[in-house]
Amino acid sequence: MEMYDRADAAFYDYYSTGLEGDVAFYVEEAQKAGAPVLELGCGTGRTLIPVAQSGIEIVGLDRAPAMLAICRDKIAKLSPETQRRIDILEGDMRDFSLARRFKLVTIPYRAFLHLLTVEDQRSALRCIHDHLEDDGRLILNIFDPRLDIITAHLGPLGSAVKKLDEFTHPDTGRHVLVSDTRTYTPESQLIEQCWIFEELDDQGTVVAKRYTPMTLRYVYRYEMQHLLELCGYAVEALYGDFQRGPFRYGGEQIWVARKT
């Protein structure tokens, strides 16, 4: 999305490392479906590239040019055979036209939550529907919102800075601390999040600081089911983890839906 400028995109793979088992899950589902596959919100290619390496032709679409630039750099280092299986496009999942249909469309790593209104969500789901082959499938995952966490963030400390992670800067080799602040707006189901990156020198002094704002709209389980059914899908499965375990409140919503 637009919030990732080049420097923030360069950090992305160091602090957004995915969820346990998610890459293997999407690779397996792509192999079961067969080519071609379309991945929306492909970002830097964390999921897309392993799918292509498994032998599946895949198209990746994303709105963020800086993220796609990193993805293309990664692809350029792959074998020619794998490169031929990948097509990368800049575009918006709410409104795209590729003049082809796919056996499987995926939206990994909660990218669906970047759609901030019900109108945007329905536009995306209908556009995906138009690009699926008959009986093609849509698979996506989003987190399941927990009311206790949302309520806690509504108090006076809701927007307090919290440390999340740390990594080594890919260019300078310095230590980088990752923190964030979050503000929830329950009436619109929005999370206003700001990532804070602090780069430290050998003495522990902050020599550079960068802020990256991000807004997500969380979606409840039955709201998501209703959206899918409203837009022409039949739900085949709802998993709670990438080992295909049962749905659990406050965990992950992993939806498998068939075009009807």
The phi, psi pair for 178, rounded to 5°, reads: -115, 125
Nearest-CA neighbor of 30 among 115, 128, 127, 139?
139
87: buried, middle or exposed (CB in 10 Å: 19+, 13-18, 0-12)?
middle
- 17 to 44, 45, 102, 212: CA distances (angstroms): 11, 12, 27, 17
Q: CA–CA separation, 129 vs 259, rounded Å?
A: 7
pLDDT, tens only, 103-115: 999 999 999 999 9
pLDDT, tens only, 196-217: 999 999 999 999 999 999 999 9
At 208, which CATH number?
2.20.25
For strands 37-40 and 102-107, give the pairing.
Answer: parallel
Q: Is residue 28 part of a domain?
A: yes
pLDDT, tens only, 14-61: 999 999 999 999 999 999 999 999 999 999 999 999 999 999 999 999
Higher pLDDT, 222 or 159: 222
Nearest-CA neighbor of 133 among 170, 163, 105, 175?
105
- pTM comes to 0.95
For strands 58-62 and 37-40, give the pairing.
Answer: parallel
Mean pLDDT of the chain: 94
pLDDT at 177 over 60: yes
At 117, which CATH number?
3.40.50.150
Q: Is residue 1 part of a domain?
A: no
Q: Which residue has 């963020």 as its token pair?
A: 64
Mean pLDDT of 182-208: 95
Q: Are residues 83 and 212 in the same domain?
A: no
- 94 to 63, 79, 123, 129: CA distances (angstroms): 10, 32, 5, 11
Q: Are residues 38 and 119 in the same domain?
A: yes
Q: Are residues 20 and 128 in the same domain?
A: yes
Residue count of the chain, please give it.
Answer: 260
User: What confidence category does residue 180 fall into, taking pLDDT thresholds of 50, 70 and 90?
Assistant: very high
Cα dihedral 49→51→54→56 (10° resolution): -110
pLDDT at 6 over 80: no
The phi, psi pair for 61, rounded to 5°, reads: -130, 135
Q: Domain residues for 207? A: 147-217
- 202 to 161, 176, 199, 206, 246: CA distances (angstroms): 23, 11, 10, 10, 47
Q: Are residues 33 and 158 in the same domain?
A: no
User: What confidence category does residue 3 fall into, taking pLDDT thresholds of 50, 70 and 90?
Assistant: low
Q: Is residue 68 part of a domain?
A: yes
Mean pLDDT of 147-152: 86
- Could you give the number of structural domains in the chain? 2
Q: Are residues 153 and 210 in the same domain?
A: yes
User: What confidence category does residue 10 fall into, taking pLDDT thresholds of 50, 70 and 90?
Assistant: confident
Nearest-CA neighbor of 207 among 195, 220, 197?
197
Q: Are residues 200 and 109 in the same domain?
A: no
Q: Residue 1's pLDDT is what?
A: 44
Structure tokens at 149: 């966490």
Which helix or strand (DSSP H or E) is residue 83 part of?
A: helix 80-83
Q: CA–CA separation, 48 vs 108, rounded Å?
A: 9
pLDDT at 82 over 50: yes
Q: Residue 157's pLDDT is what?
A: 56
Gyration radius from the chain CA atoms: 19
Contacts of 217 by beta carbon, 8 Å cutoff, 6+ apart: 113, 115, 116, 117, 121, 188, 189, 190, 191
Q: Are residues 12 and 134 in the same domain?
A: yes
Q: Residue 160's pLDDT is what?
A: 82
Mean pLDDT of 73-86: 98
Q: Are residues 172 and 225 in the same domain?
A: no
